[in-house]
Structure 1
Amino acid sequence: MGMMLAQPDIDESVGTRGEESPLRPWQTVVWNDPVNLMSYVAHVFREYFGFERSHAERLMLAVHHDGHAIVAEGAREQMELHAQAMHDYGLWATIRQAPQ
């Protein structure tokens, strides 16, 4: 009996840690790659997101020097659309939930 009671607690605990928090936004992250030129990455950020040149270049330099940059934050569905758009431009992008 004790074993049966313990199992749901373990499952519930694991499920809770893995669940998405509705309070935390999602992020689109663009990662560095060996293919795309820095000027092209900045161009994509300006063209797709409409960023000013200085902001696009700051993000591009973060990708280049830090290996990645958060380019957008918001609802998961929108971040998925942004990541797909980055893929369409040939960039490597993922989404993740913002850290707590």
Structure 2
Amino acid sequence: MAVIVGVAVAALAFVLMPGWTRSSMADMGYWVDWLNLAAMVIGAGGVAAAFVWPLSVMWRSRTGNRLRSASRAPGDLGPARRRQAPTTMRRCTDPAHGPGRVRAGAHR
């Protein structure tokens, strides 16, 4: 999305930039003029893309989470958040572990 906005701003700046600099396309006679125009256009597109990129990432993460959660089954938390199989909790009777601590899979 940021690249598309950057290219669109660069295309618009290519047409409008000579007018903003009080020049015109007719004044673009030398290669240095075209090089300067290209540098300014690429800079304007880069600034626009750099501004839109974090916004598009935030927007995509918000809408993407909603879209992904809507497509899941009601009890499915997704691959990263699935619950692990429950472990049996037992009281540890070893005095070295302290009095009556509860540990998963504790020895007897």
Fold match, TM over 0.5? no
Larger strand percent = 1
TM-score under structure 1 normalisation? 0.28
TM-score under structure 2 normalisation? 0.27
Bigger radius of gyration among the two: 2
Larger RCO, structures 1/2 (Cα 8 Å, 6+ apart)? 1
Larger helix percent = 2
